Amino acid sequence: MTNSYELLLDSKVHVLVLTGAGVSAESGVPTFRASPDGLWENHRIEDVASPEGFAQDPALVWRFYSERRAKAASVVPNPGHYALAELEKKLGDRFMLATQNVDGLHTRAGSQRVIEIHGNLFKTRCTVCDREPFDDHTVYAANEVPGCGRCAKEGRNALLRPHIVWFGEALDGTHLHRISRFMSNASELVFIAAGTSGAVYPAANFVHDARRYGAKTVLINQDPADNGRAFHHWIQGKSGEVLPGLFTFAD
């Protein structure tokens, strides 16, 4: 573990960053675990973040995600988000950001090469038809469960659901493919995980995948992560304080 660390990036290096809830904590978005306002301290995962929970009580699930929408819409990106957007500007296609966060703050900070592996709070999709997930900033009223307008036109009743990957659901295979192709194409790879407890798979395995490709691996986290021993370096601290000063560039 270390508190000050500089990462020297040369003109060949590829950087893959994985972010989690801790990166948005300094913006005021609650994390999931191990803090008094942690979302999973106050809600049962299976009630609000599983297909079974949605089947049982869709209004409760929509209330949970509507509250999170309202919260995410009321906050702004912090220096950690901006530092990653700046790094992308320098590296271009040699940069990729995989985020478990669904709050959209990376994009709002200017990041473009972002893969939202757990979905996006501000997108909604139909539980029945194959229309594309669409932008939706609606904060639904308590007990309101939106229905699909397109299905209604065809005489079907179908509920809309948040475009979030719930427990028990698979991640988008094209996302995972893009991430592993990025790693395999890199002649020199740095993998950075920031603000994530390393408790949820497959994201928690990215560090192992990266190491198989010979990556240098760095964890930036306030507390020990479940997969922390897999990293070469752990910088203990806040991502909004560590990330802006982390990178130096070789000429």
User: Which residues of the shown chain bind ligand OAD in the complex (CB under 6 A)?
Assistant: 20-22, 25-26, 31-33, 49, 100, 118, 165, 195-197, 199-200, 220-223, 225, 238-240
Chain residue whose CB lies nearest ligand OAD: 22
Which residue, 108 or 150, has its beta carbon nearer to ligand OAD?
A: 108
Which residue, 26 or 136, has its beta carbon nearer to ligand OAD?
A: 26
**What minimum distance in Å lies between the beta carbon of 223 and ligand OAD?**
3
Which residue, 94 or 231, has its beta carbon nearer to ligand OAD?
A: 231
**What minimum distance in Å lies between the beta carbon of 75 and ligand OAD?**
13
Q: Is 118 labeled as catalytic in the residue annotation?
A: yes
Which residue, 94 or 118, has its beta carbon nearer to ligand OAD?
A: 118
**What minimum distance in Å lies between the beta carbon of 30 and ligand OAD?**
8
Name the catalytic one among 118, 175, 208, 233. 118
**What minimum distance in Å lies between the beta carbon of 115 and ligand OAD?**
13
DSSP string over the chain: -BS---EEE-TT-EEEEEE-HHHHHTTT---SSSSTT-HHHHS-HHHHSSHHHHHH-HHHHHHHHHHHHHHHHT----HHHHHHHHHHHHHGGGEEEEE---S-HHHHHT--SEEETTEEEEEEEESSS-PPPEE----PPTT---B-HHHHHTT---BEEEEEPPTT-PPPHHHHHHHHHHHHH-SSEEEEEES--S-STTGGGHHHHHHHTT-EEEEEESS--TTGGGSSEEEES-HHHHGGGTEEE--
Active site residues: 118
